[in-house]
C-alpha cells in the first residue's frame, strides 16, 4: 500500500493515470492541424506571390456570370436582377469552383512532383495526411473567396437569394471536396508534366460542364442529353445550389441531388487519397 492511501492492497498492483492518453491524443490532433494549416498557408502564399492564377480565377467567373445573366435575361425575358439570381448559383459551382478546385489541385500536384517537393517531404516530419488535407484546405479557401466575389456581384445587381446560407455553404464545400478529389486522381495518375494539366482539364472538364448546365440551362437540351445529365455530378451540384439559393428550397427538397453529390464527394476524396498514397510509394522508389 502506498503511503497515505487507505483500502485493500492487491498483489502486483499497478496504478494507471487515465488522463495520460487524452493530452497525447490532443497533441497528435494539434500536430495534424498545425501541419495542415502550414501547408495551406504555403500554397496560398505561393499563389499570392504569383497572383496570376488568383486573378484569372476571379476574372473568369465574373465574366461568365455577366454573360450568363445577359443570356438568361434575353432568352427568358426576365429582369436583369432575376437573371443574376438564376445564373449566380450555377456559374459558381459549375464553372468557378471547377477551375479553382479541380484545375488548381491538379496543377499543384503536378508542379510539386516536378519541383521535387515530395522528395523533400519524405525527409521532413510532415505527414502525408497533413499534406493532403493542406492542399484541400487551400483550395477550399479559394473557393469560398470566389463564392463571396460572385454573390457580391450578384447582390450589387439586385439579385435576391432566399435559401439557407448554411445549406448553400454545404453545397459549396461538397462541390469543392469533389473537385479537389478528382484533381488528385488526375494529377497523380494521368498527369506527368505541367503541360498535361490544360489538356486533362479540357478533355474531362469542359464536356461535363456543358452537360451539367454550367453555360446554359439543361432545359435547352434535347431529351437524349437530358438523360445523360443524371449521371453528371456537376448537374447535381447546379440543381442543388439553384434549388437552395435561387428557389429557396430546403435540403430535403433537393435531397436527391445532395445525396448524389455527397456520395460522389466522399468517393472522390477517398479515391484521391488512395491515388496520392500510390504516387508517394512510386516517388519513394525513384
Q: Tell me the average pLDDT across 174-183.
A: 91
Q: What is the pLDDT, as a whole number, of residue 259? A: 94
Question: 115 versus 259: which is more confidently predicted?
Answer: 259
Tell me how far apart the terminal alpha carbons of the chain are, to the nearest angstrom. 60
| Residue 221, domain member (yes or no) | yes
Q: What is the pLDDT, as a whole number, of residue 267? A: 94
Task: Name residue, grid cell 478546385.
Answer: 101
| Residue 28, domain member (yes or no) | no
Q: How far is CA 206 from CA 52, 103, 223, 270, in A?
A: 21, 11, 20, 24
Q: What is the pLDDT, as a whole number, of residue 47? A: 85
List the domain range (segments joined by +) for residue 130: 36-285
Domain count, the chain: 1
| Residue 208, domain member (yes or no) | yes
| Residue 173, domain member (yes or no) | yes
Q: Indicate whether 5 pLDDT > 50.
A: no
Residues 38-94 have pLDDT tens digits of 888 988 888 888 888 888 888 988 998 999 899 888 888 889 999 999 889 889 998
| Residue 13, domain member (yes or no) | no
| Residue 23, domain member (yes or no) | no
| Residue 16, domain member (yes or no) | no
| Residue 26, domain member (yes or no) | no
How sure is the predictor about 125, in pLDDT bands with cuts at 50, 70 and 90? low
Amino acid at each position: 500500500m502506498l503511503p497515505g492511501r487507505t483500502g485493500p492492497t492487491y498483489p502486483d498492483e499497478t496504478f494507471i493515470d487515465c488522463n495520460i492518453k487524452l493530452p497525447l491524443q490532443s497533441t497528435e490532433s494539434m500536430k495534424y492541424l498545425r501541419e495542415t494549416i502550414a501547408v495551406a498557408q504555403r500554397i496560398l502564399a505561393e499563389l499570392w506571390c504569383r497572383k496570376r492564377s488568383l486573378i484569372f480565377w476571379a476574372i473568369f467567373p465574373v465574366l461568365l456570370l455577366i454573360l450568363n445573366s445577359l443570356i438568361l435575361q434575353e432568352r427568358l425575358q426576365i429582369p436583369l436582377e432575376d437573371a443574376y439570381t438564376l445564373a449566380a448559383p450555377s456559374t459558381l459551382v459549375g464553372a468557378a469552383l471547377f477551375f479553382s478546385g479541380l484545375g488548381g489541385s491538379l496543377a499543384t500536384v503536378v508542379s510539386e512532383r516536378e519541383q521535387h517537393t515530395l522528395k523533400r517531404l519524405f525527409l521532413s516530419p510532415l505527414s502525408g495526411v497533413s499534406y493532403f488535407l493542406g492542399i484541400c484546405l487551400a483550395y477550399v479557401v479559394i473557393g469560398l473567396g470566389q463564392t463571396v466575389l460572385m454573390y457580391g456581384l450578384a447582390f450589387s445587381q439586385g439579385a435576391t437569394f432566399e435559401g439557407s446560407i448554411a445549406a448553400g455553404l454545404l453545397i459549396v464545400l461538397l462541390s469543392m471536396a469533389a473537385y479537389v478529389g478528382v484533381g488528385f486522381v488526375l494529377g497523380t495518375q494521368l498527369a506527368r508534366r505541367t503541360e498535361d494539366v490544360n489538356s486533362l482539364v479540357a478533355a474531362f472538364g469542359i464536356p461535363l460542364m456543358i452537360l451539367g448546365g454550367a453555360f446554359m440551362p439543361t432545359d435547352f437540351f434535347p431529351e437524349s442529353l437530358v438523360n445523360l445529365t443524371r449521371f453528371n455530378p456537376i448537374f447535381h451540384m447546379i440543381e442543388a445550389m439553384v434549388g437552395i439559393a435561387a428557389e429557396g428550397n430546403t435540403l430535403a427538397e433537393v435531397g436527391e441531388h445532395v445525396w448524389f453529390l455527397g456520395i460522389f464527394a466522399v468517393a472522390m476524396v477517398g479515391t484521391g487519397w488512395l491515388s496520392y498514397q500510390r504516387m508517394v510509394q512510386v516517388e519513394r522508389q525513384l
